């Protein structure tokens, strides 16, 4: 029986997922669900850039999907993701499901989604793709068994979208150090909300701090841009005996200082794979029943709730409002 996968939401990110899965030489059909004709055209044009032999079927509704799917990627905006998830799982038998972040905007939707995922026995993951980068996998092995209460993690950049992307950094920290988020502190965010590049959403700048279950303290910074200035993310991990500095980019540089060699810098470089490359790995692992190097929904849920609640509370305090949603995606 021919395997089938679906991508729901074919905008900027969904179309990159489409490019990635089309790179695979495995045999499967691809269904793309996108009600917007403009987004569908973008996805079709990007699909045409890839040489492939897959059958690609564009749909405008989940109703048009087959009754069973081996893998589904939901790449919609956060404001409709729960509605899409519920409609999908009540109509289609799904084996593996990948959700884009930010998962949902309303706290109760996280618990309702958990009930659906467990009721329909879906293996559900959240797309925090730094876990799939080989150099972060190697680094995780090196950091094993560190005393976490003596580790400090920070991430810094300019205009990189703290609301949209901050969860990727805290998830990376949890992955590298095998820990969980206990709480975020939003008091050091800039007292100014800025418009997101996506209409109807907001962004935050400044510093988000927090602490993990094992006592690790962390800072995540996104500085206010000058004009349209953007600086890539740099990550620092400090311990009493080692400092690791990571400058992300198409080629990522890793600088390590260790006490054993007098803190002399040691340099390494690695390639950071694009989402289209990672999506190829994702679909092949799913269809070949290999491990998927992403956090499960159950693992990610507490972090997402804490993160969105912290930003929503900050937003409401700053604007003297009672907004139920955290307006990020």
Question: Which tens digit of pLDDT belongs to each residue from 3-17?
Answer: 999 999 999 999 999
Say whether both 107 and 125 belong to one domain: yes
CB of 95 closer than 8 Å to CB of 70: yes
Question: Which tens digit of pLDDT belongs to each residue from 107-157?
Answer: 999 999 999 999 999 999 999 999 999 999 999 988 766 666 678 999 999
Say which CATH number the domain at 11 has: 3.40.50.720
State the CB neighbour count (10 A cutoff) for residue 213.
13
Say whether both 314 and 185 belong to one domain: yes
Say whether both 174 and 206 belong to one domain: yes
Domain presence at residue 300: no
pLDDT category at 199 given cuts 50, 70, 90 is confident
Question: Which tens digit of pLDDT belongs to each residue from 220-260?
Answer: 999 987 776 777 899 999 988 889 999 998 899 999 998 88
Say whether both 105 and 63 belong to one domain: yes
Q: How confident is the model at residue 145, as a pLDDT? A: 63
Q: How confident is the model at residue 211, as a pLDDT? A: 94
Domain presence at residue 301: no
Domain presence at residue 64: yes
Closest CA to 201 of 310, 304, 312: 312
Q: How confident is the model at residue 279, as a pLDDT? A: 97
Say whether both 195 and 254 belong to one domain: yes
Question: Which tens digit of pLDDT belongs to each residue from 70-118?
Answer: 999 999 999 999 999 999 999 999 999 999 999 999 999 999 999 999 9
Phi/psi of residue 218, nearest 5 degrees: -145, 155
Say whether both 118 and 151 belong to one domain: no
Say whether both 93 and 154 belong to one domain: no
Say whether both 171 and 313 belong to one domain: yes
Q: What b/e sequence results for 47-70 when a residue is b if at least 16 CB atoms lie within 10 Å of its CB, and e otherwise?
A: beeeeeebebebbeebeebeeebb
Question: Residue 194 belongs to what domain range?
Answer: 134-272+308-319
Say whether both 172 and 287 belong to one domain: no
Phi/psi of residue 106, nearest 5 degrees: -115, 135
When divided into structural domains, the chain yields a total of 2
Percent of the chain with pLDDT over 70: 98
Say which CATH number the domain at 180 has: 3.30.360.10
Distance separating alpha carbons of residues 219 and 32, to the nearest angstrom? 38
For residue 200, pLDDT over 80 is answered with yes
Distance separating alpha carbons of residues 151 and 119, to the nearest angstrom? 39
Say whether both 80 and 224 belong to one domain: no
Distance separating alpha carbons of residues 270 and 262, to the nearest angstrom? 24
Domain presence at residue 324: no
Say whether both 248 and 263 belong to one domain: yes
Say whether both 143 and 13 belong to one domain: no
């Amino acid at each position: 029986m021919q395997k089938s996968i679906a991508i729901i939401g074919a905008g900027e990110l969904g179309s990159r997922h489409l490019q990635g899965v089309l790179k695979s030489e495995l045999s499967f059909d691809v269904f793309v669900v996108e009600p917007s004709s403009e987004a569908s055209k973008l996805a079709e044009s990007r699909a045409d850039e890839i040489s492939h032999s897959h059958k690609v079927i564009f749909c405008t509704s989940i109703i048009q999907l087959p009754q069973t799917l081996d893998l589904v990627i939901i790449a919609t905006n956060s404001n409709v993701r729960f509605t899409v998830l519920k409609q999908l799982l009540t109509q289609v038998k799904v084996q593996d499901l990948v959700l884009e972040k930010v998962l949902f905007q309303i706290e109760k939707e996280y618990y309702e989604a958990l009930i659906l995922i467990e009721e329909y026995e879906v293996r559900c993951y959240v797309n925090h793709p730094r876990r799939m980068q080989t150099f972060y996998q190697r680094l995780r092995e090196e950091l094993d068994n560190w005393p976490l209460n003596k580790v400090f993690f920070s991430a810094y950049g300019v205009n990189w979208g703290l609301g949209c992307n901050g969860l990727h950094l805290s998830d990376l920290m949890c992955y590298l150090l095998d820990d969980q988020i206990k709480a975020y502190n939003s008091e050091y965010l800039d007292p100014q909300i800025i418009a997101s590049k996506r209409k109807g959403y907001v962004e935050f700048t400044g510093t988000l701090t927090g602490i993990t279950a094992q006592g690790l303290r962390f800072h995540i910074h996104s500085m206010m841009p000058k004009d349209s200035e953007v600086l890539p993310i740099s990550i620092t991990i400090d311990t009493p005996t080692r400092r690791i500095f990571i400058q992300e980019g198409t080629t990522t540089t890793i600088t390590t200082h260790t006490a054993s060699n007098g803190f002399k810098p040691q340099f390494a470089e690695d390639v950071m794979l694009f989402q289209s490359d990672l999506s190829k790995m994702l679909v092949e692992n799913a269809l070949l029943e290999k491990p998927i190097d992403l956090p499960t929904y159950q693992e990610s849920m507490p972090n997402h709730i804490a993160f969105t609640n912290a930003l929503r509370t900050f937003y409401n305090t700053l604007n003297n409002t009672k907004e139920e949603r955290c307006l990020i995606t």
